[in-house]
Every structure is written in structure tokens, then in C-alpha cells.
């Protein structure tokens, strides 16, 4: 570890616990309901909106450790054949496709991906991705695998946050407010996808992975 990285990780700060909040899923509201509320704003009091739980790690002891690990995980994710940078890249891909009239478009959504993955499978995914990680170009010195795994365990096993004045600790999954979460969950998803595609009979294929789930479509 170089001196700059050490100072970054060990800098004294006013630390605080993680904080849980809900991000409203406004896109899942019924369009007719939205129109009714627009016409009569008083109706909003009766609207129940689903929320996506976010644990903000800003200012916590885990924040910089997660950012440090993410520096090494992200390049490996970007090297995956199925990686998609954003929605615009997806649009650019499908605009160039010439498919047969009988082609099928199939999409998959992973329900609550961040919450349902076990710590063991994410740690194993990083182990399996290590040959790719060490081949990537990194802006800071890459430590040995054993140190990466030790820090990863610290991040995964100490996800604590405060909600309504009480402290909680998660026993599985990763919080959406952690900068490391998209990369380690994506690495695991790539393992699952690749295991399926190794035996997939149709060779012409395209898969798309996002930070919140996975979407794949195969062309016959």
C-alpha cells in the first residue's frame, strides 16, 4: 500500500453510523392514479408508494474501505463481455441488430439482487474473478488477494445503520448505498450467466447487465 492510499484510509474523520432511507418507486405508480392526483392534489395523502431501501454509508468507517476495494473490482466488471455501461449503450446495440422475424426477445430481472446474495457467494465470486483483476490496469497498487478478501469480509459483515433512533445490522446481502455493492454483485451475476451460456445451444446471443439486476436477450 502506498503512502497516499494509507493516509486516505486512515485519515481521522468525524465518523457516523449508516442511515437507512427509502427511495420512492414513483415509476411503479399507476398512470391513472398519477393523473387523478394531478387533477386533485389532495388525493396524494391516500397514495401508498413503494420504497427502495437505501443505506447511506457516507461518513461511515466503511465508506472509504468500500471505495478502495471498488477501485480493483470495477475494471474486472468492465472487462466482462456482458457488461453494459448505460441505457444509451443498450440502445446503440439493439439499433444495429438485424434479427429474423421469428426471433425472441427475453428479459430477466433479479428480484432484490442486493438483498438476496449471501456473503459467501460474493466472496467466492471475487476469488474466481482474481485472475481477471490482476490482469487489469489499476491506478493504485493492487494488494495480495488475502488482504482484499479480509477487507471485503469487514465491509460485508459490518453493515450497520440507524433507523428511527435504533441501530440495526444486516446479516446478508449488501446495501445499495455502498459504492462497492454494484461490482461485487455483478461479478456473481456474471458467474451465473456464464455458467448458463456455456451450455446454451444458440450461439448468437447478447446479454446485458446493470447495477440493479440483469437483463438478457437471445436471438434465434
> With bands split at pLDDT 50, 70 and 90, how would you rate the model's confidence at 153?
very high
pLDDT digits (tens, 9 = 90+) for 41-88: 887 777 888 888 888 888 888 899 999 999 999 999 988 877 777 778
pLDDT digits (tens, 9 = 90+) for 103-139: 777 777 788 888 889 999 999 999 999 999 999 999 8
pLDDT digits (tens, 9 = 90+) for 133-147: 999 999 899 999 999
Q: How confident is the model at residue 202, as a pLDDT?
A: 63
Helix (H) or strand (E) holding 169: strand 166-169
**Which is it for strands 160-163 and 166-169: parallel, antiparallel or unpaired?**
antiparallel
DSSP H helical segments within the chain, as ranges? 3-10, 31-39, 63-78, 87-95, 113-116, 119-135, 145-157, 181-197
Query: In 3D, which of 188, 150, 152, 13 has the Cα closest to residue 71?
Result: 152
Q: How confident is the model at residue 147, as a pLDDT?
A: 94
Is residue 177 a contact partner of residue 57, using CB atoms and an 8 Å limit? yes
Is 12 strand, coil or helix?
coil
Q: Is the pTM of this model over 0.85?
A: no
> With bands split at pLDDT 50, 70 and 90, how would you rate the model's confidence at 203?
low
Higher pLDDT, 141 or 216: 141
Query: In 3D, which of 182, 160, 172 has the Cα closest to residue 62?
Result: 160
Cα(167)–Cα(93) distance, integer angstroms:
45
Average confidence score pLDDT of the chain: 82
Sorted by sequence, the CB contacts under 8 Å of residue 106 that are 6+ apart come out as: 216, 217, 218
pLDDT digits (tens, 9 = 90+) for 188-197: 988 888 887 7
pLDDT digits (tens, 9 = 90+) for 86-99: 778 878 877 887 77
Q: Give backbone dihedrals phi and psi of 195, rounded to 5 degrees, phi first.
A: -65, -35
> With bands split at pLDDT 50, 70 and 90, how would you rate the model's confidence at 171?
confident
Amino acid at each position: 500500500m502506498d503512502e497516499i492510499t494509507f493516509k486516505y484510509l486512515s485519515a481521522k474523520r468525524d465518523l457516523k453510523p449508516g442511515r437507512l432511507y427509502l427511495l420512492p418507486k414513483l415509476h411503479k405508480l399507476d398512470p391513472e392514479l398519477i393523473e387523478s392526483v394531478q387533477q386533485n392534489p389532495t388525493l396524494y395523502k391516500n397514495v401508498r408508494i413503494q420504497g427502495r431501501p437505501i443505506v447511506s454509508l457516507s461518513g461511515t468507517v466503511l465508506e472509504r474501505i468500500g471505495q478502495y476495494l471498488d477501485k480493483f473490482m470495477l475494471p474486472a466488471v468492465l472487462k466482462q463481455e456482458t457488461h453494459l455501461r448505460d441505457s444509451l449503450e443498450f440502445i446503440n446495440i439493439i439499433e444495429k441488430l438485424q434479427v429474423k422475424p421469428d426471433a425472441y426477445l427475453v428479459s430477466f430481472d433479479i428480484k432484490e439482487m442486493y438483498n438476496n446474495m449471501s456473503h459467501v457467494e460474493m466472496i467466492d465470486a471475487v476469488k474466481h474473478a482474481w485472475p481477471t483483476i490482476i490482469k487489469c490496469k489499476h491506478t493504485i497498487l493492487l494488494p495480495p488477494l488475502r488482504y482484499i478478501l479480509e477487507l471485503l469480509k469487514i465491509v460485508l459483515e459490518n453493515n450497520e445503520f440507524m433507523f428511527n433512533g435504533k441501530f440495526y445490522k444486516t446479516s446478508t446481502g449488501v446495501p445499495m448505498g455502498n459504492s462497492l455493492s454494484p461490482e461485487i454483485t455483478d461479478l456473481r451475476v456474471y458467474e451465473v450467466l456464464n455458467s448458463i451460456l456455456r451450455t446454451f445451444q444458440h450461439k448468437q446471443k447478447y446479454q446485458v447487465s446493470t447495477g440493479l439486476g440483469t437483463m438478457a436477450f437471445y436471438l434465434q
